Structure 1
Amino acid sequence: MILYPAIDLKDGNCVRLLKGDMDKATVFGDDPAAQARKFVDAGCEWLHLVDLNGAFAGHPVNAAAVEAILAAVKVPVQLGGGIRDLETVEMWLAKGVSRVILGTVAVEDPELVREAATRFPGRVAVGLDARRGKVATRGWAEETKMTVTDLAGRLEGAGIAAIIYTDIERDGAMQGPNVSATAALARSTTIPVIASGGVSSLKDLIALRNAVGISGVISGRALYDGAIDLSEALEVLRTPPQQP
């Protein structure tokens, strides 16, 4: 299982939100590139970046911070937030992002997602962010009536590289991930599923590792707070899963 340390960008800083609330942001650093280097030095093989301002604005806002990270590290990077047209997808891939994450547009224009995945095979992921099982869009500010399994079903066969599933109520709250919902989503689709939101301990990582079908996990606040040691976490996730 791959561990993706998260660098969430707001106003050029590394932050973590509480349950997706932009007014409840904790700043963990003002040098995203330096933070990226720390994660890589600890052994991570991927980074997960989110342009939080961009997610609300609908276009890239923290581009300078993202480009600084791309220049600072050599590991692959996936990026979400404000990517809602093919031009922006192509722009970020050309700049060195390994995989773009499409969220809002996956609900509002699924054909665009299919076109992007066809044009850039293996380099387009979809972010399914849910509140009480229903997909939320536009920086989690708007809730739809669509379930995550419904949307995942619509994406089958489109060539999507991964689904990043976030339980908004768990995100940044350090209350543990929604393992059962994430595993249920993974069982419902052939697309690899990456868990996000609420990871607070090595115990949480082990539970996700042992769940069938989950291919990766994103962690942010727990790494910044020191609740999880990155090197130790990477070692735990290299251990084969233990099935009941």
Structure 2
Amino acid sequence: MIIYPAIDLKDGACVRLLRGEMSQATVFNTDPGEQARLFQSQGFEWLHLVDLNGAFEGKPVNGAAVESILKSVTIPVQLGGGIRDLTTIGMWLEKGISRVILGTVALRDPDLVKAACREFPGRIAVGIDAREGYVAVAGWAETSDIKALDLALKFEDCGVAAIIYTDINRDGAMGGVNVESTSDLAFHLTTPVIASGGVSSIDDLKALKLEEDTGIEGVICGRALYDGRIDPKEALALLSATAVEDAD
């Protein structure tokens, strides 16, 4: 199972939000490139980036910060936030992003996601952010009447690399990951699922690891890495083990 350190970008800085509220942002580093280098030096093999301003505005905003990260690391990077058309997808892939995450547009224009998968095979992920089980979009400012599983099922046969599933009510709240809903979603899909939202301790990672066979391929971790609640070395050892018991 892969652990993805999260770098959420707001106004050029690395922040963490509380339950998706832009007014509840904690700044952890004003140098995104430096933060990315730190994560790479700790042994992480992927980075997860979100352009928070872009998610609200519907277009890339923190481009300079993203590019500074790409210049700072050699590990692959996935990016979401404000990516709503094929031109923007192609632009980011050309700049060095390994995988683009489509969220709002996945709900509003599923055909665009399918077209992107055809044009950029293996490099498109779908971000499904849910509030009480229903998909939220536009930087989580709007909640739809579509259930997370129903949306995920639309992309089962089009080549999506992964579904990134976030429980908004858990995100940044340090209350624990929603293992049950994540594993239930993964169980009903053939597309790999990456868990996100609420990871606060090594025990959360152990709980997800135990459900790996449902189809949970990875986990995104943010605040708990920044504030030291999760030790990178311990987390990487746990998730790379063949079973949780091997890492104890």
Amino acid at match of 2:225: L
Partner residue, 2:36? 36
Partner residue, 2:4? 4
TM superposition shift of 1:232: 1.4
1:23-78 CA distance string (max 9 Å, x none): 00000010000000000000000000000000000000000000000000000000
Partner residue, 2:108? 108
Partner residue, 1:188? 188
Count of residue pairs the alignment pairs up: 243
Equivalent runs, 1:187-226 vs 2, <5 Å: 187-211=187-211, 212-226=214-228
Picking from 230, 233, 247, the partner of 1:231 is 233
TM-score (norm 1): 0.98
TM superposition shift of 1:241: 2.9
- d(CA) in 1 for partners of 2:180, 2:244: 16
Q: Are 2:131 and 1:131 equivalent residues in the alignment?
A: yes
Partner residue, 1:61? 61
Q: Identical aligned pairs, as a percentage?
A: 65
TM superposition shift of 1:242: 4.8
What is the Cα-based RMSD across aligned positions, in Å? 0.8
Partner residue, 1:17? 17
1:91-131 CA distance string (max 9 Å, x none): 00000000000000000000000000111010000000000
TM superposition shift of 1:213: 1.7
Amino acid at match of 2:148: V
5+ unaligned residues in a row in structure 2: which ranges?
none
1:132-163 CA distance string (max 9 Å, x none): 00000000000000001100111110100000
- Greater alpha carbon shift after TM alignment, 208-217 vs 132-141: 208-217
- d(CA) in 1 for partners of 2:243, 2:69: 32
Partner residue, 1:76? 76
TM superposition shift of 1:207: 0.5
Amino acid at match of 1:198: G
TM-score (norm 2): 0.97
What SS does the aligned partner of 2:154 have?
helix
What SS does the aligned partner of 2:61 have?
coil
Q: Are 2:163 and 1:172 equivalent residues in the alignment?
A: no
Partner residue, 1:158? 158
TM superposition shift of 1:240: 1.6
1:165-214 CA distance string (max 9 Å, x none): 00000000000000000000001110000000000000000100111321
